[in-house]
Amino acid sequence: GAGVSQSPSNKVTEKGKDVELRCDPISGHTALYWYRQSLGQGLEFLIYFQGNSAPDKSGLPSDRFSAERTGGSVSTLTIQRTQQEDSAVYLCASSLADVSPGRFFSYEQYFGPGTRLTVT
Amino acid sequence: SQQGEEDPQALSIQEGENATMNCSYKTSINNLQWYRQNSGRGLVHLILIRSNEREKHSGRLRVTLDTSKKSSSLLITASRAADTASYFCATDKGAQKLVFGQGTRLTINP
């Protein structure tokens, strides 16, 4: 079946512009994650969705970053007034999830190919 | 904050040799996962080991988990050039996210 897809694959934008990144998860995966990876670095967690809800937004670097998910499927990550330090590869992942009150149990995450964002 | 830390940061071996990478973490976990990344783009899931498991195998991969030492190791046997990649461990603390380490860059020399 189809994997996680992301668009665009590459985005070059001028400082101060807004950008929108899209993620299409694997069908049936209720959990969706956004990460950021700067050159040569590990993955930095940004935000997690369970269904359309984002219980944990603590990883968003600033209020210029926002994300939403509709219909329990597609998610968009929006960066307003982009800065050069926003340049990175933005990775989306989806997974099954076992969620009960006060408990979260993760399964393996399936990653998309990423969007390489360059802010000039 | 960083939960998993891989060691070494970089490893270079000859094709056919075994490669061992280690991961240490700080707090209790539900499970620990290993991922591979080629060319700085999407990650590929390799193995998930749960906190009540001590060892898992998948093909040429062997993962161990020692919860008393808060450490895990990934062994790749009979390495191939195609194994050249970055390898990351990620820990699930039940906090609704995985926390990734900085990764080990593995180079297999022909």
The alpha carbons of chain A give a radius of gyration, in whole angstroms, of 14
Query: B60 phi and psi, to 5 degrees?
Result: -85, 5
Does A35 contact chain B (CB < 8 Å)?
Answer: yes
What tokens were used for B8? 């070494």
State the average pLDDT for chain A: 90
Answer yes or no: do A111 and B44 touch at CB < 8 A: yes
Contact present, B31 and B51 (Cβ < 8 Å):
yes
pLDDT in tens, A19-65: 999 999 999 998 899 999 987 777 888 998 988 989 878 889 999 99
Q: What is the pLDDT, as a whole number, of residue A56?
A: 79
Per-residue pLDDT tens for B20-78? 999 999 888 888 999 999 876 779 999 999 999 999 999 999 999 999 999 999 999 99
Q: Which of B2, B94, B100 is nearest residue A104 as measured by Cβ atoms?
A: B94
Element (H, E) at B44: strand B43-50
At B1, is the pLDDT very low, low, confident or very high (cuts 50, 70, 90)?
A: very low
